[in-house]
Structures are given as structure tokens and as C-alpha cells.
Amino acid sequence: MIERSVVVRVHDGLHARPATQFVKLAKSFACDVEIRCNGRGASAKSAVKLMLLGVKENDEATLRAEGDDAAEAVSALATFLQTPDAGEVDLSAPRPADGPATAAAPVAAGERGVAASEGTAIGPAFPFFPAALEIRPRTLTPDAVVPERARYRAALAATISSFREARAKPGLRRDDAAIIEALVEVAEDADFIAAAEDAIGAGRDAESAVESAGRAIAESFEALTDPYLRARAEDIRSVTRAIVLALLGRRDTTLADLPKGAVIVADEIAALDLAKATLADIGGIVCRKGAATSHVAIMARAHGIPAVLGFGVDAAHLRDTRTVALDGASGEVVLDPDEPVAARFRGAIAREAEERTRLAAYRTVEPRTRDGRRIEIAANLGSLAEIDAALAAGAMGVGLFRTEFLFMERRTLPGEEEQTETYVKLAQAFAPHPVVIRTLDIGGDKPVAGIDFEHEDNPFLGWRGVRMCLERPDVFKPQLRALLRASAVGNVKVLLPMIADVGEVRAVRALIGECRAELDASGHAHGAFELGVMVETPAAVFVAAEIAREVDFFSVGTNDLTQYVMAADRLNARVAKLNRTEHPAVLAAIRMAAAAAREAGIWIGVCGEAAARPDLIPFFVENGVTELSMSPASIPRAKKCVTEI
């Protein structure tokens, strides 16, 4: 048996989406794998039992595997657990779409629910109250058990097929599809299936067996303290209902015929139900149940649909409502509003539309300050799948491409050819605008398969970034050769992470020289690229003048620079009040780096989250920053901010 204990670094723990991916990874191995946490254990190949463990970020988990490929399984699964961004989106709170939402004015007549997705809406109510399932329990004779089990398996297969059809529906985003895939994993869960089949074997009809198995699992989730995991009971009920309907030969009420602009009112909406609607047609969502952590809330935020959940009004009242007004930012809902109230909501909607229109106009703008300085607004990306969103937002190139995502969540390291192809596609997509590609930035907190990271008490201060790469030329040189080959496109720039000493830059330049010679010898075409460094350590700030003479540009990583300057872990909520980029000490460090860049005649950019903050953009520009890189959704607003400086 192979056993290994790790501290879980997956953001928010193993809830639905990362649990689904973890189980898929476990199933790719033949061996038996168990995960233990907080004194309890579960099969690593059961999504339901895994979620019920309630594994949270910073918990210690133990992996145990037995079989021919046990060592490989434990290594890959441990890597997953130690990867903060293991396929997850931010599930913790509502988030705005492309611009700041303007909430409706307070309405005295309104009641409040849970603010789940920003935006204001008013429209005709579309009641969505699927009929209760009427199951008539039957006791099976012994000779009826086998055919009943076969009937259950046929219904299960049909349900899974319908889920996969919904997942492939045009208009769904990658995150939406991942949510539906999590439902597939629940339906296919071995323990869920075993519970239903055992009940059938004991003489219960398939409908009753599925309903009782689903109810028991849903109640287990509802008993948990974590709000996100409690919300997964909704998924269990959704899967259970779908299988029972298939057994009954019935089709459920659907949102497919929703009129454009209507507001859905319901007890509860499953992600699968929402996936069947034309999402662009939904005016808003109001549900009696649900929370901001539910999958419906996540999908609503992703598509900019105003939503209020947990709205505690009588179901009959909601059914009889003709018009609904809601403010997804405050949680306010007004049923059948009078004209003055409706006018307030329409005014808020108009203001939001004007703001979106104003920001949309900046997508194609090349922003200049009022005194004529051009500022490049670029995108931070982690994969080629994000290119379209960045281009649609008006990105003027890529200010940070995180290559670690090429290496993470896989069982082998990517080769030179695969990396070259990825970097070439990225460069071609944004040409002639520059793309800044950061070399591998991994460490004990972001491990990858194929690189053995020993335990470190503080991986943020450990063997990471360029420190690891320089000691592993077998990993680093294929990436440098791929970057040189991609540079033939002409717009590639290369960024080195975690620089603390000028000697590190010189060592990288020596390796680049070796890689050029190797490419010449093998007959591979290659080009030249600008070489820059991340300014994210206090050491890089203090020796910025010396480093600036060795490189072509600086890029300030405000996330890590802030935590290092303030000695405050950015993942630790207890010291969050110290982790502020606007702190005078952090601003002084940025000012010093900018002065060194200016003195050396090189350009400087900012690629941390602070690059998109309207309150800090004037400070950056004032200090000579010429490039700001951020999430695509923030680009139009940042461009607008620059033009007002």
C-alpha cells in the first residue's frame, strides 16, 4: 500500500467541480484509492462520498492506494490536492459582469432574499413549478427483481445521455458545461447506484428505490455546515428527479419555451433546468430556495442574469404573480409592483444599460491619457480557451500568460512541440499586439506531476519559480526552446518569475544562449524576444536598478509583491486587512521599481489584480507604467479610466 498525507490547497476545498475532476483523475488509475480527512474516509472514485467528507482548503488529507499503479495515482492525486486553482471558478460570492452594476433605488414595498447575481430586472413572471412526483410503491416478487434492475439501468443510461446532450447545448460556457458534468458524475456515482440497486434487490420498485437513495444522500448534504456543500443537495434532488421521471416515462416541465425577458419564479431551479433554457432570453430569476453558492447562482452570474434566491414568500403567492421586479445586487424583490416602483426599477435598468453601452464603446479604443500618453490594456490568460473572451473585451495583447496551467492537472510534463504549438497559437491570435509569456511559475503550493517537491513549511518562500527552473534545466530548457521557436511570429516577450538576484537573470540568459545553439544545430527556425522580470519580491525592488540594466522590461506582480512587502499571506483571511496593494509601503516599492525602469530606459507594466482598480490606475500611470494587464471583463472599464486621467 502507498500512503501520503498532504495539506489541501484547492481553493474552497473539494466541492462539486474540483471533486468531479478529482474523481475523474482517480478513475484513470486501476488501483483502489481512499482519501481520509478529519477522521473519516471515502473512495477517491466516488464524487458523492468525496463531497460528503467536506474536505476544505488547508485540511490535511491522507491518500492510500493499493494496486499496480498505486504510486502514480497517489503522486497525481496529491498534486491535484496541492494545486490552488484545480479547475475552479470563484464560487464564494456574486461577481459583476463587464461593468459595475447600478442597483435600483430602495423600494419600501419590496422584500429581500439572497443577492445571488447582480443586475436589475422587471418583466412578466414565468412560473416554473414542476409537478410533484407521484410514486406508488410496489413490492417486487423475487422473479421481478432482475427485470426491475434492468429497467432502472436503462433509465439511468437515458438520464445520463440527456445530461450530456444538455452539456453540449450551444450557448453554454465551459463553466456551465462543468456544472452539468458534475451532475453526470453524481448520476454515475457507484454508491448512489449501489443504494438504489440494493433497495431493488430487497424488493422495492425502481422509482421508490431511487427516490429513497437520493433523499438519504440529499439529507446528508443538508446536514453539513459548509454552505456550498449544503447547496449540493439541490444537485442530488435534480439527478434523482430526472431518473424517476425516466422510469415513469414522463417528460418534465421545461424552460425551453421561456418568453424573452421573462422572470423565472420557482421553488428551486436545478442547473440542468437552466441549461435547457435560452439563457440570453432570461430576464431574471427569483427562487424560494437556494443560495449564492448554488449552481444556478453561479450560472446566472456567468451570463449576467439578475437573480435573487432564498426569497421567503408563500409559494401560492409566487405562482399567482404577474410581474416581478428584482435587484440582484441587494436581494430586493417586488411582486406586481405599482407604477412608481416599476418606474424606479426601469430607471435603474436604463442606467445599467447606459453604463454597459459606455463601457462597450471602449472595447475598441486605444486608450490615451488627456495629455496623450498611450497605455496598453492587456489580458491575463491561463489557456488558449480564454482568447476569444479577451479579444471580445478589446485586449491589446496579453500582459501575462501563465504557462503553469499547461503543466498542471496532467500526469506527464508537456513536451517542446506541444508548448511551441500553444505559444504560436497565442502569438498569432493577438498579432501584432505583444504577448508576454511567463516561464513556469510553480512551487510547493503549485506542484506538477514529474517534478518532486519536498515538503516546505512556507512554499511561498521556497523552491519555486525561476529558482526551481534553474535547477531543473531538463524542464526549463524545453520551454525556453519552445519560446524561441514561437518568437518567429514576432510579438512574443518572455517574463521571468520570482527574481531576487541579478545573477538569476544572467543564468537564464546563458541558458537561452545554449537553447539557440541547440535549435540552430537541429535546424529549427527561431526568433528573438524581449526578456523581462516580475517585480514581486522586496529584493527585486531594492536591486531594481541593477536588474533593469540586464532586461528589457519589468512587470509588477502586485499580488505577491503585496504579500511579501506586508509579510501577510494573501490566502490567510486573518491578516487580510494587511494585504492591501494601496498600503503606502507597497506603493513605495512600486514607485522605486518604476523609477529604476525609467532610469534604465525600459518599460514597466503591472499584471496583478490591482492593475484593474480605478483607484490605483492613476497612480500607476503617474509613475510611468505603460501597460496594465487584467482579467478580460475589466478591460473596458480600465480603458475608460485611462482616458479620464
Higher local confidence (pLDDT), 232 or 142:
142
* Tens digit of each residue's pLDDT (9 = 90 or more) over 238-281: 889 889 989 988 877 788 878 999 999 998 887 778 877 888 89
DSSP 368-417: B-TT--B-EEEEEESSGGGHHHHHHHT--SEEEEETHHHHSSSSS---HH
Residue given cell 412608481 in the structure block: 340
* Average pLDDT for the chain: 86
Confidence (pLDDT) at 212: 92
Number of C-beta neighbours around residue 418 at 10 A: 13
Least confident of 276-280, 400-404, 491-495: 276-280
Confidence (pLDDT) at 466: 92
What average pLDDT does range 563-567 have in this prediction?
91
C-alpha span between 606 and 555 (Å, rounded)? 5
Q: Provide the sign of the torsion angle of the four alpha carbons 539, 542, 548, 552, taken in this order.
A: positive
Longest Cα–Cα distance of the chain, Å, equals: 89
Helices (H), 91-232: 145-167, 174-187, 190-201, 206-222, 227-230
DSSP designation for 455: P
Query: Would you say 51 and 66 are in contact if contact means Cβ atoms under 8 Å apart?
Result: no
C-alpha span between 10 and 15 (Å, rounded)? 10
Confidence (pLDDT) at 93: 37
C-alpha span between 489 and 528 (Å, rounded)? 10
SS3 category, 326 = strand
Residue among 18, 48, 41 nearest 235 (CA): 48
What average pLDDT does range 291-315 have in this prediction?
81
Most confident of 163-167, 184-188, 316-320: 316-320
DSSP designation for 604: E
Confidence (pLDDT) at 292: 66
Higher local confidence (pLDDT), 245 or 222:
245
What average pLDDT does range 96-108 have in this prediction?
36
Confidence (pLDDT) at 532: 97
Least confident of 85-99, 418-432, 525-539: 85-99
Confidence (pLDDT) at 16: 67
Most confident of 84-93, 353-362, 461-470, 551-560: 551-560
C-alpha span between 185 and 187 (Å, rounded)? 5
Number of C-beta neighbours around residue 39 at 10 A: 5
pLDDT band of 167, cuts 50, 70, 90: confident
pLDDT band of 105, cuts 50, 70, 90: very low
Q: Is the pLDDT of residue 106 over 60?
A: no
pLDDT band of 349, cuts 50, 70, 90: very high
What average pLDDT does range 80-104 have in this prediction?
48
Residues ≥6 apart with Cβ < 8 Å to 230: 221, 222, 224, 291
Share above pLDDT 90 across residues of the chain, in percent, rounded to a whole number: 48
Least confident of 122-131, 154-163, 175-184, 273-282: 175-184
Q: What is the 3-state secondary structure (H, E, C) of 496-528?
A: ECCCCCHHHHHHHHHHHHHHHHHHHHHCCCCCC
Query: Would you say 498 and 540 are in contact if contact means Cβ atoms under 8 Å apart?
Result: no
Number of C-beta neighbours around residue 511 at 10 A: 16
Share above pLDDT 70 across residues of the chain, in percent, rounded to a whole number: 89
Residue given cell 464560487 in the structure block: 91
C-alpha span between 642 and 620 (Å, rounded)? 10
Query: Would you say 41 and 49 are in contact if contact means Cβ atoms under 8 Å apart?
Result: no
Residue among 449, 503, 493, 500 nearest 475 (CA): 449
Q: Which of 15, 295, 303, 526 is catalytic?
A: 295
SS3 category, 42 = strand
Q: Which of 469, 515, 607, 641 is catalytic?
A: 607
Residues ≥6 apart with Cβ < 8 Å to 320: none
How far from 373 is each of 333, 344, 393, 516, 645, CA to CA, in Å? 46, 41, 21, 36, 10
Most confident of 160-164, 446-450, 584-588: 584-588
DSSP 284-303: EEEESS--TTSHHHHHHHHT
Residue among 21, 94, 92 nearest 303 (CA): 94
pLDDT band of 97, cuts 50, 70, 90: very low
Confidence (pLDDT) at 464: 80
Task: Determine whether 31 is an active site residue.
Answer: no
Please name every residue paired with 166 in a beta bridge, in sequence order, or none if there are none.
Answer: none
Q: Is the pLDDT of residue 181 over 80?
A: no
Higher local confidence (pLDDT), 508 or 82:
508
Residue among 242, 269, 231, 287 nearest 115 (CA): 287
Please name every residue paired with 324 in a beta bridge, in sequence order, or none if there are none.
Answer: 123, 335
What average pLDDT does range 88-97 have in this prediction?
38
Q: Is the pLDDT of residue 355 over 60?
A: yes
pLDDT band of 90, cuts 50, 70, 90: very low
Residue given cell 448520476 in the structure block: 187
Confidence (pLDDT) at 227: 63
Phi, psi of 600 (to 5 degrees): -85, -10
C-alpha span between 105 and 74 (Å, rounded)? 54
Length of the chain: 645
Higher local confidence (pLDDT), 572 or 88:
572
Higher local confidence (pLDDT), 83 or 420:
420
Query: Would you say 296 and 72 are in contact if contact means Cβ atoms under 8 Å apart?
Result: no
Q: Is the pLDDT of residue 453 over 70?
A: no
Helix (H) or strand (E) holding 40: strand 40-43
* Tens digit of each residue's pLDDT (9 = 90 or more) over 141-166: 999 999 999 999 999 999 988 888 87
Q: Provide the sign of the torsion angle of the four alpha carbons 86, 227, 169, 331, taken in this order.
A: negative
Task: Determine whether 295 is an active site residue.
Answer: yes
Least confident of 27-41, 314-328, 428-442: 27-41
Number of C-beta neighbours around residue 139 at 10 A: 10
C-alpha span between 184 and 167 (Å, rounded)? 10
Specify the amino acid at residue 242. Answer: A
Q: pTM for the full model?
A: 0.57
How far from 8 is each of 15, 56, 61, 444, 499, CA to CA, in Å? 12, 7, 7, 12, 27
Confidence (pLDDT) at 340: 93
Judging by beta carbons within 10 Å of its beta carbon (0-12, 13-18, 19+), is residue 319 exposed, middle or buried?
middle
pLDDT band of 100, cuts 50, 70, 90: very low
Q: Is the pLDDT of residue 456 over 70?
A: no
Please name every residue paired with 496 in a beta bridge, in sequence order, or none if there are none.
Answer: 533
Residue among 166, 117, 169, 96 nearest 283 (CA): 117
